[in-house]
Amino acid sequence: MNPLQYFQLKLTERKYKTLDSFIPFTLTEQVEYQPYNEVENRIQKFKCYTEIGKDASGKYGMYLVELGNKAKPKIMILSCLHGTEWQSTQFSLKFMEQLENDTFPDHKFRQYILSQFHILFIPVANPWGYNHTTPLSRYKGRKNANKVNLNRDFYDFTQEESQHIKKVIDKYKPFFYLDCHLMAPRKDGGQNYQDMIVGNVDHESDLYRDFIAKSLSVYANREVEQWNQHNNREHNGLSRRYLFNKPNPFTPNSFPFILELYRPVKNKDGIVAYLTDQEIYQFGIGAMYLFFKSAIHYYLTNNKKKIK
């Protein structure tokens, strides 16, 4: 049985019976770069947010936003480990704002996820990089103030940013985790991958990786590449590698995933863009929606006795 067929099955849970591949909304907005102080203003409008510490420069606060039921199982989203990938902050922040203010287009989904799960969201993991990049930059702002690639620091934890994120993971022990990224075209304007990528760390989560990727491919009408566990085990310092090795009290395994979308960059010959700003917004939010549906399904299939 393939993943799409699997998700058509009826669950016994009364309030949320179906988890299918359909994304029941069309989005028309687009990502737009904002200075970090404007992002902070948006973060501070959430009912529950905490400054978890300062970044390596000591100038920028890092924030954890919490939504849903704090007594329930934990799901975590991380955005913008690389400042050049500011779009991940913009689409993920909008997703969370819509959950918070009840404007998310799937109302049944919103009601269920907020009542039955506790969402942990770090909107900007690299605030110095975010505030020092430019909308079409290839490299400027990718690393932190100490010129460290934060997505190689989740083994030694030498940087304040990775230390703060580690503390959140260690404290809450999420069972599902999404690391939101964007990638740049080659300097010659070419592509090394498909326009979008969904990756996992362990073969036991292949079902959910494939479900997200195949459903997103149908939604976007374009190919979505699937990274296997080998792509994500090359470096001990990946944030998703760290999460994978952490047990949680909710499910048999902790399942981390990565989302990659191509972002536009300015090369010497002009702007190269495989996805528009509207498509990045639309596909980013669509991928997050599928990720949360996968989390719901994984939890329910492993906790049938807790289903009311």
pLDDT per residue as tens digits for the range 23-58: 888 889 999 999 999 999 999 999 999 999 999 999
Task: Give me the residues paired with residue 51 across strands.
Answer: 63
Among the listed residues 181, 182, 190, 192, the one whose alpha carbon sits nearest the alpha carbon of residue 267: 190
Two structure tokens written together for 211? 């479900």
Of 194, 180, 83, the C-alpha closest to 137 is 83
What's the pTM value of the predicted model, to 2 decimals? 0.92
List the domains of the chain with CATH numbers: 3-9+28-306 (3.40.630.10)
- For residues 202 and 289, which has the higher predicted lDDT (pLDDT)? 289
> Cα 160 to chain center, whole Å?
21
In angstroms, the CA 283 to CA 87 distance is: 11
Tell me, what's the pLDDT at 234?
60
Strand bridging mode 74-79 / 118-122: parallel
Chain segment 254-264, per-residue pLDDT in tens = 999 999 999 99
Name residues whose C-beta falls within 8 Å of residue 53's C-beta, 6 or more positions apart in sequence. Answer: 61, 62, 160, 163, 164
- List of long-range contacts for 23-30, beta carbons under 8 Å, 24+ apart: 23/215, 23/219, 23/286, 23/289, 23/290, 24/105, 24/106, 25/105, 25/106, 26/282, 27/278, 27/281, 27/282, 27/285, 27/286, 28/278, 29/94, 29/278, 29/281, 30/276, 30/277, 30/278, 30/280, 30/281
Average pLDDT over residues 277-285: 97
Q: Which of 297, 221, 212, 189 is nearest to 260 (CA)?
A: 212
Contact 205, 229 (CB under 8 A): no
Task: Identify the residue with better confidence: 8 or 229.
Answer: 229
Q: What is the DSSP letter of 18?
A: B
The confidence score (pLDDT) of residue 89 equals 98
Residues 6+ apart with CB under 8 A from 295: 75, 117, 175, 176
pLDDT tens track for 170-213: 999 999 999 999 999 998 888 888 999 999 998 999 999 999 99
Q: What residue type is 104 in one-letter code?
A: F
Sign of the dihedral defined by the CA atoms of residues 156, 159, 161, 167, in that order: positive
Instruction: Answer for the pair 279, 220: CB distance below 8 angstroms, yes or no.
Output: yes
Give Cβ neighbours of residue 111 (< 8 Å, ≥ 6 apart): none
Spatial distance between the Cα atoms of 82 and 86, rounded to a whole number of angstroms? 8
Please write the tens of the pLDDT for every residue from 63-98.
999 999 999 999 999 999 999 999 999 999 999 999
- Tell me how far apart the alpha carbons of residues 19 and 10 are, in angstroms, rounded to a whole number: 8
SS3 30: coil
pLDDT by residue (tens digit) across 123-175?
Answer: 999 999 999 999 999 999 999 999 999 999 999 999 999 999 999 999 999 99
Largest CA distance in the chain: 60
Cα distance between residue 246 and residue 266, in whole Å: 39
Interatomic CA distance for residues 24 and 28, integer angstroms = 14
> How high is the pLDDT of residue 305?
59
